[in-house]
């Protein structure tokens, strides 16, 4: 079974593309979502995050995502601390999930697949891209956040130029129909 990594900058269209692969019957693992589930379910992670970020990291027993985002996306050390706590746990969780799959290939979607080195465990890496101003506008519209809030996350991510050097396949996600056609072709190639 091939492990296919799928990544891209904030607002590039990772979730949009992953839904297209899922509609073709491909098992998909969305690291952001699984990371949040672990942050809310693992007592060990909770203890470590509270030690690093303070009691406000959790509100009513739930991860306080806005507080955590505001803390880590403007503080490199805190971001590295959170990543060091979360990513190994996500890696173990993904391995257990992958062992239960029986398809030709699975897709692991992660915003920072390159940044945290987990692309090295993938047989193929797909990069989803879109011009930065398009990505910023999409996220502002989707999340109702400010341009500077989106830029605060972008600055913690590699530029597309650096990711292109390591990607096997690049999906320029501008026109949705073109993206769908390319996903269909990639699925045939990987199956």
Ligand X SMILES: Nc1ncnc2c1ncn2[C@@H]1O[C@H](COP(=O)(O)OP(=O)(O)OP(=O)(O)O)[C@@H](O)[C@H]1O
Ligand Y SMILES: CC(C)(COP(=O)(O)OP(=O)(O)OC[C@H]1O[C@@H](n2cnc3c(N)ncnc32)[C@H](O)[C@@H]1O)[C@@H](O)C(=O)NCCC(=O)NCCS
Q: Could you list the residues that contact ligand Y (CB under 6 A)?
A: 10, 31-32, 35, 65, 68-69, 72, 79, 82-83, 86, 90, 110-112, 153, 156-157
Taking the complex as a whole, the smallest distance from the CB of residue 163 to ligand X amounts, in Å, to 13
Detail the DSSP E strand segments found in the chain. Answer: 2-8, 28-30, 58-59, 62-63, 105-109, 124-129, 169-172
| Cα–Cα distance for residue pair 111/14, rounded to 1 Å | 8
**Residue 85, both tokens:** 């706590």
Taking the complex as a whole, the smallest distance from the CB of residue 58 to ligand X amounts, in Å, to 22
Q: Which is nearer to ligand X, 17 or 124 (CB)?
A: 17
Distance of CA 57 to the CA centre of its chain: 21
Which among ligand Y, ligand X, none contacts residue 142 (Cβ within 5 to 8 A by kind)? ligand X
Is 11 among the annotated ligand-binding positions? yes
Q: Which is nearer to ligand Y, 27 or 187 (CB)?
A: 27
CA dihedral 149→150→153→154, nearest 10 degrees, is -140
Among the listed residues 120, 176, 184, 185, the single contact to ligand X using CB under 6 A: 176
């Amino acid at each position: 079974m091939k492990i296919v990594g799928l990544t891209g900058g904030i607002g590039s269209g990772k979730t949009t593309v992953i839904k297209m692969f899922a509609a073709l019957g491909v098992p998909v693992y969305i690291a952001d979502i699984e990371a949040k589930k672990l942050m809310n379910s693992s007592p060990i992670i909770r203890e470590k995050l509270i030690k690093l970020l303070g009691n406000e990291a959790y509100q009513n027993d739930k991860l306080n995502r806005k507080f955590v985002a505001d803390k880590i996306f403007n503080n490199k050390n805190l971001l590295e601390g959170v990543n060091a706590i979360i990513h190994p746990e996500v890696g173990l969780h993904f391995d257990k999930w992958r062992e239960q799959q029986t398809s030709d290939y699975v897709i692991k979607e992660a915003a920072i697949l390159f940044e945290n080195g987990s692309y090295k465990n993938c047989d193929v890496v797909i990069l989803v891209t879109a011009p930065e101003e398009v990505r910023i506008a999409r996220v502002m519209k989707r999340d109702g956040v400010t341009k500077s809030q989106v830029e605060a996350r972008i600055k913690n991510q590699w530029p597309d130029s650096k990711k292109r050097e390591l990607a096997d396949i690049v999906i320029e996600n501008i026109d949705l129909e073109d993206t769908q056609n390319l996903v269909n072709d990639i699925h045939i190639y990987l199956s």
